[in-house]
Structure 1
Amino acid sequence: MRQVPRDAGRPVKHLLIGSGRLSRHFTHYFRDLGIDHETWLHPRVFTREVFQRTDFTHVWFLVSDRAIDSVGERWLGGVREFSQPSAEDFLPQLLHASGSWVTPVARGAHPLMTFGPSLYPANFYRDIPFIVEDFFDGVETEWILGGLPNRTVQIPSEKKALYHALVSSAGNFPAMLWADVFTRFERDLGISHHLLAPYLFQTLANVLREGEGSLTGPLIRGDRETIVKHKGVLEDSPLGRLYAAFEIFFRETLSHHPEDSNHV
């Protein structure tokens, strides 16, 4: 079977397979866009009727990375067994949303965003870029996402592990650091962690705008006295060990940047 575009005049219809957090976010977004879609909440069990449907142009496997292949193969097996012969050459575009997983079963289309338990405002989803796996098969990006207006960038399969490692480092690591600092602020200082918000938001804005040129602090200034004080009060804690690791990271990557001495 080949994943080929349907007739140009045929309406797009998505099937969202999965019952987890990402599936709920996708359903919310598709509903807001008015894109025709259905959901299938039980990826372990399909019925003959769903395989005989010929109106789905896009099928999303919104399941855990480890389940993508098994669910995808279960889907393909059912289509081979139960679909009409005339439909076999027109397999829907098969997609998954993992940032790192690579499989011949489906093409990766990863929304570059973190998804919490609460749904986001409808217009927020439109600004989420999708990083699409390039199969070098000539299928146009506009068709791959089936009507989604989001910005897309294609990368080859062999770059996905690096892409996801960088994304995870950029988002998850600072989040863990902030969570620990928030706890220490309230437990050890008696200060609400919300007071850090303006500082953190501005730090992010500066980095996005100016890159490494936005960096401030004692490491940038070469202020050894302050660094020693910091390490002393953080000694024998996970944050203290992380501080020491960042010293090494700074020396190996960023130590050539001069800095104005009047910043935090």
Structure 2
Amino acid sequence: MTGTARFAMKVFSSSLNDHLLVVGNGRVARHLCEYFKRMRMSFETWNRRENSVGDLRDSLSRAGRVLVLLSDTVLEDFFHQYHGLAPEAMWIHCSGALEISGMESFHPLMTFGPQLYTLDQYVLIPFVTTSHFTLAQALPGLSNPCVRIPVSHKARYHALCVLSGNFTTILWRKLIEEFRDWNLSPGLAKPFAQQVVANVFSFPDQALTGPLVRRDLETQAKNLAALDGDPFADIYRAFQNLFFQVGAFGTSAGPKSAPPQSHPAMVPGKKGGEKGGKKSH
């Protein structure tokens, strides 16, 4: 019998109390604990820095639900080490990448910054689960949007989250750092960033603009020349190659042929530029 099936028999019984133990004190834990406080949920916390193993034993003896908010590298080991101290409790994690037998997975589809959010922001956070339970069954008191995906989709789901959230953050940070070097306020780019996101969700098939969509090879070459010696030039080339391999990333008119490899903008490691003032198309 799987862990999920075993806990399923307990969820609707009176023996499974609603008392929640939150394990961890990282960024996700701080945000979710703040959310729980504002929702007036009953819970207690435990972390290695501030509490002892004896404290953990006491807390587990009272818990009907154990929400483990530790890094992926130690999450499964922690569960196996301490699950025996609360075998009747529902054990929950929020990892977007891991599936652990005996634990229910509810991943918050959100990025968590160094500052806490407002209650209005917290209640809108969607959760993505592979569990047979609802979010309200796992964490009574929460009514956030929650969708279920098959376990077979989870690894790719998390990869898409990393691509769209983490990797774009690296690109925006690059722009902000260079703006600061030029004594420009990073806030100048905020309307630009906000409109990019708004367009992606309002017009996903037409949101992409710029020299790739226009097939403007001369501008692409100039961009790469400006990035010469910068590691981000390789990222630019990677997007060029991806664009011509899979299309215009949701635009209605994707490229119909391979890029002209003779153009300096398309040759890895070669500087882009112009000679003789002629454009290459």
State the TM-score bracket (shorter-chain normalisation): 0.7 to 0.9
Q: How many residues in Structure 1 have an aligned counterpart in Structure 2? A: 243
Deviation of residue 61 (structure 1)? 0.7
Higher relative contact order (CA 8 A, sep 6+): 1
> Do 2:65 and 2:90's aligned partners in 1 also have CA atoms closer than 8 Å?
yes
**Residue 49 of structure 1: which of 58, 63, 78 is its match?**
58
> 1:147 is matched with which residue?
141
- Does the 8 A contact of 1:58 with 1:146 survive in 2? no
Distance apart, 1:144 and its partner CA:
2.2
Counterpart contact for 1:220–1:257, Cα < 8 Å: no
Match of 1:92 in 2: 89
Alignment RMSD, CA only? 2.3
Contact 1:218 1:226 in 2 (8 A): yes
Partner amino acid, structure 1, of 2:61? Q
Deviations 1:148-204 (A, max 9, x none): 1111011222322111100010011111011112222232x4422221111111011
Does 1:13 find its partner at 2:19? yes
Gaps of 5+ in 1: 81-90, 260-264
Q: Secondary structure at the match of 2:100?
A: coil
Q: Does 1:178 align with 2:172?
A: yes
C-alpha separation in 1, matches of 2:253 and 2:157: 30
Q: 1:25 aligns with which of 31, 41, 44?
A: 31
1:158 has 2:152 as partner: yes
What percent of counterpart residues are identical? 33
TM-score (norm 1): 0.83
Match of 1:217 in 2: 210
Q: Which residue of 1 aligns with 2:108?
A: 111
Q: CA deviation at 1:44?
A: 7.3
Measured after TM superposition, the shift of residue 219 of structure 1 is 1.0
For the residues of structure 2 that align with 1:230 and 1:52, how far apart are their CA atoms?
61
Match of 1:74 in 2: 81
Residues 41 and 169 of structure 1: is their aligned pair in 2 closer, same or farther, counting only changes over 3 Å? same
Give the 4+ runs in structure 1 shifted more than 4 A.
8-11
- Which 5+ residue runs of structure 2 have no aligned equivalent? 255-281
1:246 paired to 2:253 = no
**200, 203, 222: which one aligns with 2:193:** 200
